[in-house]
Structure 1
């Protein structure tokens, strides 16, 4: 089932980026924020609740390990190539929400849908038109302590971030250095 965006405000404003990643910060996102796992079963055993996955391949591997993430963010792309149809179909089963989010940005719609999906007692997949690569950052800020945010580290494995006050503060500090309206972003994430 596909649900319309629950974003507030005019439709034209929902797809406009609130913040964008400045070039000087790109190098700070290269290193993993948490431990890198290659075994989906080991990752599930160590993961907290809720579990948020960012990326089609990560989501696919965790689904194959037998548990659906509470929140999954997918965009149909891995390593700048379209994922195969099996992965695409597998990761988009169940409740989905469509959101626009251009490359290198975080839109208000994406931030709002991440918050709504974390709060939803049922699993939700957010299908991003554009790019979901930065979605781990607002997910870490919005998720409760003890949650796990999992994203792919190209050619290495899956990064599992356990949300704590310290990690959240680090990510907020990083996001505060993005270009754009960081106050508006934090007002959405700090519900």
Structure 2
């Protein structure tokens, strides 16, 4: 990996975004790579926006410049749109299609956009868009709470992702409760296959 790799990860509070970022960051260090990370916490109790910026390589700043992300990993459709200024036409955009309706929409006359419209919008301007129903795959793996591992597996399937799946799995095992390892392994595989297929 000569030029580095930038991953912008976003979603809403409670989806495991920070833990996913920590797993990727630790895996990078275990492969001997430099990594910097910054995080922004929204109001997690109110399902506020949460994002992290991970830069693998010799970077001086932890902030990904506009249009410079190699990958955008989003846990929620609207949050994908919020983070799109980090992407360029060749960014791998992997996102969970299951919407979480924020209280601001629920308590107003605004409508949550149709997910199909979001997908069409993204595919018009970006070359690599991978929408997956992470919630459905997490349930299939055995627990809805493994949705972050589904999405982790999905981003690992990017052919330019700089870390091996084996290193990611090792890092997952170091960071999550052993009694959930089998479940999380299934979730990673489901996410990986959803994009790889």
TM range (shorter): 0.3 to 0.5
TM-score (norm 1): 0.39
TM-score (norm 2): 0.38
Comparing both structures, which one devotes a greater share of its residues to strand? 1
Comparing both structures, which one devotes a greater share of its residues to helix? 2
Question: RCO higher in 1 or 2 (8 Å CA, sep ≥ 6)?
Answer: 1
For the pair shown, which has the larger CA radius of gyration, 1 or 2? Answer: 2
